[in-house]
Structure 1
Amino acid sequence: MSAAAIQPTLCTLYIWPSRWNLPSIDPTCIAAVFYLQLTIPGKFEVVECTNPDVSPSGKLPFLTHGHAAVSSIPAIISFVSSLAKSTTSGARNLDAFLSAPQRANRTAWCSHVEVNIGDLVAYSFYSLDDNFWKLTNPTMASMLPIPQRYYVPGRIREMHRPRLEAAGLWTQSASEPEKDSFGKRQKTDDPKDEYARAFERDKVSAQAKASFALYARLLNGQKFFFGERPTTLDVYLASHILLLLDPPFPDQLMRSILEESYPTLVEHARNMQTEISQLPQYLVAAAQKQSLLSLIPRPLSNPPKTKESQMDEADLRFRRMRWTWFALALGGVACYVAQLCMKVSVVRVNRRPRRVQRDGANQERETEVTITEDEEQEDDEEQEESAPSRDGDE
């Protein structure tokens, strides 16, 4: 069997664009890139995308492999793990060496990272006022076309707000900064707001330290959580920690907590970067051109056809039947509209003679009235002329 025969179909990963020397600005997108780097290095390409509507679930990241499209990081991990079961795929299972109890712990801790550390990442990007207006909003606006850049960052922030409020990580006080008619913020200096923010900042610091301490104890001075080899849990945690360390936030609260109190977590994230940098790098597809058509949400276009992905006879017959049905439906609608127009024209033609007859009758009545009036006038004149002659005869 030749090398071309065992070469798997190239996978395509759609993610939010890269910034700050990181694969993406989203932690789950970074986790997807890291996972594919460790399982199918050099056998996938990345497409930087800013339109989540192309995803089957409406969220990034998502992966395409042939005709399959898989969305969400757990589904991507499950899909790649299924590919690893084939000896010809070239993929490997990142957690194959774990025992059954270790795999159960891994799944639970991955969910914990996505919820708790994910809340801290969202807090740094969207909750802190300075971070959002000075870093998050300009960064996302530079990625998006006009007019999305003017409203999408704020909309994403509002999407995160209920989750952060439920977690106690929405730090803005009740008196939100007012906006003028152009949407710009107007500064309002209120001592009560400053005290409230200081109190909430201490509360957030305590909550972050409690979460970081759990993973520091779990790591227990090891290079990775389960020894010298990275697992899915290492991918999850490192992708979130790196987004708390590398972006140039104006408010460096999370970074200062990590570097001062939990250096083992910082070292773990850097070890993951080093491990991945030694593997073959993935391909980055050319940036998608933005146009006015990008304002219309559209489904993902079909992948390019290859010899292995040609449609069989059943697919062709189904497509022909579908287009035939569309043609018959449009033909039926056209016939109905034509018949309706003909009926309307016939009704109009039938109504015109009646109006003419009515108008003729009215004219005849008017002429009869005028004739009778003229006759009465003539009779009156004759009577007046005959009156004096009768007087003379008498």
Structure 2
Amino acid sequence: MVLELHVWGPGFSLPSIDPQCLATIAYFSLLVPKDSWTLVASSDPTISPTQELPALKNGSTWVSRFRNIVDYLRQYSNGEWDLDRDLSALEKADNVAFSSFVEARAQALVDLSLYVTSQNYYNTTSPAYGAILQWPNQWILPPQLHAAAKARTESLGLSSLDLEAVQEQQKRDHSADVAAGRIPQNFIRRPRETVSSMLGKAPQQHQFRLEALTRELFEPLEDFLGDKTHMLSAKAPSSLDCLAIGYLSLALIPELPHTWLRDLMLRKAPRLSKYIERRRRELYGVVNVSDAFTNNGRSSLPWRAPERARLATIGSTLLNTLADSTPILKDIRMNNRLREAAKSSDSGLSEVESRTLSAYAGAQGRDTLISIATVVGGFAALVGYMVHVGVFSAPEGDGEEEQQGEEEEGVTALPESVDVSDFLGNVRVQS
């Protein structure tokens, strides 16, 4: 049976726009025979039960995330498809340590470069997603990924890269100054800002922080690589090489309006940069977006065109997006996802972490139900009170009260219908 590797589609002259997907593609290219797998640029995480890409499909079995896919390939092939099988005990320890190091540190820098840096996101990253996504995901997923990247890097204190946030803060400060009477409204015309100008005016500690983050990643990897042909040994590549190629390709290769990450990588880790450039050409070749969708056979990768979205899938996507935008439904769905992730065998969590996450999801679910009950109870009490005081009761006897009022004022109420002969008879009697 041919394995199907579903990934985020190509971008930046790379076979995927996502580092975990790039690492998985590199692993398959190094180890799995080309006729044993296909590469599908589905770019839709909902196809996987875990709602994540990369995702490997083998019949009815789905496995997601790079590390889980590596473990599955080892078990599926009885140890034959395992890049780390010949590593020594010390090399295996280094492999685990540096793999975790690369995933944690490089992800933050890729987020800052491709998503948080406003010029890069709006001019390059967002259009790249638009080229690989089908409707309506091309309008839904990029803002979600953008917001997630900003949330992941918020603690780094590098908001100066995000022009949107900086300019919003400037507008708030400007409005506050106008309201306080410190400056006349529209007195100063502010020029259009760029990331370069913002970085130049940003607090100096922001620039130091950016230098420190890149130095903490690139210099240890540069020293660890040394003069070796691979990250761990000169004999053969390992899963660490795949992760380094996947993450650092997105730091080095994309042509962006603001190339601060590439410039720092070339300056701080020249040997590592040459290694990444050489290996990504060997493993990925030259990639065009059309290769993933036309089956033209020009690529060295075994692309298979993704299926077009069905009407039911589009409807489900729209409903899920609407549900995730509704406050109470959003909380309920998030708790369900946490609970499913805690129980999933592909989550990569230990037994203690799984129990802790499950308990947290349960507590959050109870809090959500209590909130719903409180709102419903408060609304019911309000309606009951309004009924009690007569807000919703219709006034009774309006005609009788009106007639009594007219009689009290000396006005005789006219009957609803009058017979002509009776009226003339009454007139004769009175005359």
Paired residue for 1:123?
112
Corresponding residue for residue 17 of structure 1: 9
Answering whether residue 310 of structure 2 is matched by residue 288 of structure 1, we say no
Q: 1:33 aligns with which of 25, 31, 47?
A: 25
Distance 2:231 2:140 in 1: 41
Which residues in structure 2 correspond to 1:300-315 (within 5 Å)? Answer: none
Deviations 1:151-200 (A, max 9, x none): 4211211112221012344433754449xxxxxxx986599886227752
Instruction: Spell out, residue by residue over 1:263-292, the C-alpha distance to the aligned partner (whole angstroms, 9 max, x if none).
Output: 1111221332354369x9442111322354
Return the alpha-carbon distance in structure 1 between the equivalents of residues 100 and 133 of structure 2: 30
- Report which stretch shifted further, 96-105 or 250-259: 96-105
Map of 1:250 onto structure 2: 257
Aligned residues of 2:14 and 2:284 also touching (Cα < 8 A): no
Query: Cα gap change, 1:297/1:58 in structure 2, threshold over 3 Å: closer, same or farther?
Result: farther
Question: Could you tell me how far apart the structure 1 residues matched to 2:146 and 2:114 are?
Answer: 9
2:78 is the alignment partner of 1:85: yes
* 2:276 alignment partner, one of 244, 269, 278: 269
SS of match in other structure, 1:123: helix
**CA drift at 1:260:** 2.4
Any residues of structure 2 matched to 1:139-288 within 5 Å, and which? 139-170=128-159, 171-172=161-162, 175-177=166-168, 195-196=201-202, 200-228=206-234, 229-276=236-283, 281-288=300-307
Instruction: Give how far 1:206 is off.
Output: 2.5
Shift of 1:240: 1.1
Deviation of the 1:224 alpha carbon:
0.8
Match of 1:53 among 36, 46, 61: 46
Q: Secondary structure at the match of 2:147?
A: helix
Partners of 1:169 and 1:221 in 2: CA distance: 34
- Count of aligned pairs between the two proteins: 280
Query: CA shift at 1:236, angstroms?
Result: 0.5
- 1:24-71 deviation line (CA, Å, top 9, x unaligned): 000000001111111213021011012111112111001011232111
Offset of residue 226 of structure 1: 2.1
Give the number of the structure whose alpha-carbon radius of gyration is greater: 1
CA RMSD after TM alignment: 2.9
Residues 371-382 of structure 1 aligned to structure 2 (within 5 Å): none
Which residue number corresponds to residue 56 of structure 2?
Answer: 63
Seen in structure 2, the aligned counterparts of structure 1 residues 71 and 187 have a Cα distance that, compared at 3 Å, is farther
Structure 1 residues 232 and 139, CA, compared in 2 at 3 Å: closer, same or farther? same
The range that moved more, 269-278 or 119-128, is: 269-278
- Structure 1 residue corresponding to 2:69, chosen from 76, 82, 89: 76
Counterpart of 2:74, as a letter, is S
Q: Distance in 2 between matches of 1:246 and 1:198?
A: 28
Instruction: Give the counterpart letter for 1:51 in structure 2.
Output: D
Relative to structure 1, the CA distance from residue 187 to residue 155 in structure 2 (aligned partners, 3 Å threshold; closer, same or farther) is farther
Summarize the Cα distance change of 1:192–1:276 in structure 2 as closer, same or farther, 3 Å threshold: closer
The gaps in structure 2 that reach 5 residues or longer are: 170-189, 286-298, 318-431
Q: Secondary structure at the match of 1:223?
A: coil
1:105 lines up with 2:105 in the alignment: no
Distance 1:264 1:53, change over 3 A: same
Give, in whole Å, the separation in 2 of the partners of 1:187 and 1:297: 44
Please give the secondary structure, in 1, of the residue aligned with 2:4: strand
Report the Cα distance in structure 2 between the residues aligned to 1:27 and 1:53, rounded to whole angstroms.
19
CA contact (8 A) 1:238 1:269 kept: yes
Partner of 2:127: 138
**Is 1:175–1:193's contact at 8 Å kept on the other side of the alignment?**
no
Where structure 1 has 5 or more consecutive residues not aligned to the other structure, the ranges are: 1-8, 179-185, 299-394
SS of residue paired to 1:119: helix
Q: How far apart in 2 are the matches of 1:162 and 1:95? A: 34
State the alpha-carbon separation in 2 of the partners of residues 175 and 27 from structure 1. 28
Q: Is the 8 A contact 2:199 2:207 kept in 1?
A: no
**8 Å contact kept, 1:235–1:272:** no
TM-score norm. by structure 2 comes to: 0.59
Per the alignment, residue 180 of structure 2 pairs with none
- Shift in CA distance, 217/47, structure 1 to aligned 2, threshold 3 Å: same
Aligned match of 2:320: none
Kindly provide the amino acid, as one letter, of the partner of residue 15 in structure 2. Answer: P
In 1, Cα distance between equivalents of 2:198 and 2:158: 18
Q: Which residue identity does 1:15 align to in structure 2?
A: V
The answer on whether the counterparts of 1:125 and 1:136 sit within 8 Å (CA) in structure 2 is yes
Residues 1:167 and 1:78: Cα distance change in structure 2 (over 3 Å): farther
Residue type of the alignment partner of 1:286: A
